[in-house]
């Protein structure tokens, strides 16, 4: 029987489907050395963002010569040492389609929160304050949104932003993408200089490091808004705080952090920052789609292969 370890859980309907296909499913969280030792007993591992599958775990798992597949339920795979896994003939897959709409909607939610002071007014009203005159917001209508990266999620954001009357720019490492002439392609530097709101939709590349730091903030418009629902390390939190405090950045919406759970109290308590604990894909609809995609991958790999 094919044994599957769900280290970060999975939607109930997906678990039931796997069992109906005669997979043995173990829903238990392990980390580090213990994870590697346990993986000797499994054919496949399914993780979300909580479990880090690093070289020591992979090497330990490979000693058992059983693990064949690691699936990341989500878009990125930066919590998995992909090269090390593939070197041990362990395939790595993800579910890139399932959470696009959910992350796109959260991106818009953060835009509304920081431009209309939804984040901080929600706090101050609970403190008994009525600071109506203090919260003079900004409309999204007519503003220029710069999308850094133009994959599935960014495309979903673009559709919704255009419906709100925004002008949409995008930059992409592969260059201009055919079939999307309703949005303007520009260079990385042009996007930084021209956007009223910048939203990041790029993976973190540890070989290149931080994408947005002090130099990039200095290139942006005064009073720009920054939204990051991609990966925490893409943006320097130190540089972001400096830009918030000197007024360069009018507000920021942050779902992802350099360290998770974050310990950056200054950032999460900043009055012009809207924060969420990495919940981009945390909708019931996305979880069901992720579960279905995981089931399809496992079925394709072990049954239909």
What's the confidence (pLDDT) of residue 66?
Answer: 97
pLDDT at 242 over 80: yes
Coil, helix or strand at residue 99 = coil
108 pLDDT above the threshold of 70: yes
Which pairs with CB-CB distance under 8 Å and at least 24 residues apart come from 242-249?
Answer: 242/214, 242/217, 243/214, 243/217, 244/270, 244/272, 244/273, 247/222, 247/223, 248/217, 248/218, 248/220, 248/222, 248/223, 248/224, 249/217, 249/220, 249/223, 249/224, 249/225
Residue 238 has pLDDT above 70, yes or no: yes
The pLDDT confidence band at residue 148, using thresholds 50, 70 and 90, is: very high
The Cα 269–Cα 110 span in angstroms is 15
Q: Does 156 have pLDDT greater than 80?
A: yes
Q: Report d(CA 289, CA 276) in Å as an integer.
A: 22
Asked whether the predicted pLDDT for residue 267 surpasses 70, the reply is: yes
Q: What backbone phi and psi angles, to 5 degrees, belong to 209?
A: 80, -155
Q: What is the pLDDT of residue 96?
A: 85
Q: 268: burial class by Cβ within 10 Å (0-12, 13-18, 19+)?
A: middle
The answer to whether the pTM exceeds 0.75 is yes
Q: Phi and psi of 92, rounded to 5°?
A: -120, 125
Confidence of residue 189 (pLDDT cuts 50, 70, 90): very high
- pLDDT at residue 289 tops 90: yes
Phi, psi of 211, deg, nearest 5: -90, -40
**Residue 227 to residue 154: CA distance in whole angstroms:** 12
Supply 115's token pair. Answer: 């431009």
The two beta strands, 197-200 and 224-228, are parallel
Q: What values do phi and psi take at 261, rounded to 5?
A: -65, 145
- pLDDT bin (cut points 50, 70, 90) of residue 304 is confident
Range 2-16 average pLDDT: 96
Query: Does the pLDDT of residue 133 top 90, yes or no?
Result: yes
Place 3 in a pLDDT band, splitting at 50, 70 and 90: very high
Tell me: pLDDT of 136 over 70. yes
Query: Exposed, middle or buried: residue 104 (CB in 10 Å: 0-12, 13-18, 19+)?
Result: buried
Per-chain mean pLDDT for the chain: 96
Tokens representing 220 are 């942006």
What is the average per-residue pLDDT within 128-139? 97
107: confidence class by pLDDT, cuts 50, 70, 90: very high
Is the pLDDT at 47 greater than 70? The verdict is yes
pLDDT at position 305 over 80: no
Predicted local distance difference test score (pLDDT) of residue 180? 97
Residues that are catalytic:
231, 260, 278
Confidence check: pLDDT of 215 > 90? yes
Helix or strand run (H / E) with residue 19: helix 12-20
Confirm if 91 and 68 have CB atoms less than 8 A apart: yes
**Overall size of the chain counted in residues:** 305
pLDDT above 90 for 103: yes
| H helix intervals, 116-170 | 118-126, 152-163
Cβ 23 vs Cβ 1: under 8 Å = yes
pLDDT at res. 205: 86
- Tell me the per-residue pLDDT of 61-100, one tens digit each, with 9 for 90 and over: 999 999 999 999 988 788 999 999 999 999 999 998 899 9
Above pLDDT 90, what percent of the chain?
A: 92
């Amino acid at each position: 029987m094919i044994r599957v370890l769900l280290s970060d859980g999975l939607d109930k309907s997906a678990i039931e489907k796997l069992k109906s296909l005669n997979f043995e499913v173990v829903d238990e969280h392990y980390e580090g050395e213990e994870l590697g030792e346990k993986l000797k007993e499994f054919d496949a591992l399914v993780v979300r963002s909580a479990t880090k599958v690093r070289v020591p775990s992979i090497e330990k798992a490979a000693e058992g010569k059983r693990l064949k597949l690691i699936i990341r339920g989500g878009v990125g795979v930066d919590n998995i040492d992909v090269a090390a896994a593939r070197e041990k003939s362990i395939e790595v897959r993800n579910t890139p389609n399932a959470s696009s709409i959910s992350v796109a909607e959260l991106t818009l939610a953060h835009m509304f929160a920081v431009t209309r002071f939804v984040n901080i007014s929600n706090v101050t009203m609970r403190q008994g304050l009525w600071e109506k005159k203090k919260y003079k917001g900004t409309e999204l209508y007519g503003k220029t949104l710069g999308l850094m990266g133009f994959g599935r999620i960014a495309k979903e954001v673009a559709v919704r932003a255009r419906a709100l009357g925004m002008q949409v720019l995008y930059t992409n490492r592969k260059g201009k993408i055919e079939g999307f002439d309703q949005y303007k392609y520009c260079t990385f530097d042009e996007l930084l200089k021209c956007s009223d709101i910048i939203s990041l939709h790029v993976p973190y590349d540890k070989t290149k490091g931080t994408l947005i730091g002090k130099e990039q903030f200095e290139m942006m418009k005064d009073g720009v808004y920054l939204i990051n629902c991609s990966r925490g390390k893409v943006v320097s939190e130190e540089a972001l705080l400096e830009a918030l405090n000197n007024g360069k950045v009018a507000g920021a919406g942050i779902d992802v952090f350099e360290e998770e759970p974050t310990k950056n109290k200054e950032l999460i308590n900043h009055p012009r920052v809207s924060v969420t604990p990495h919940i981009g894909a945390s909708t019931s609809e996305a979880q069901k789609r992720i579960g279905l995609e995981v089931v399809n991958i496992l079925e394709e790999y072990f049954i239909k292969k």
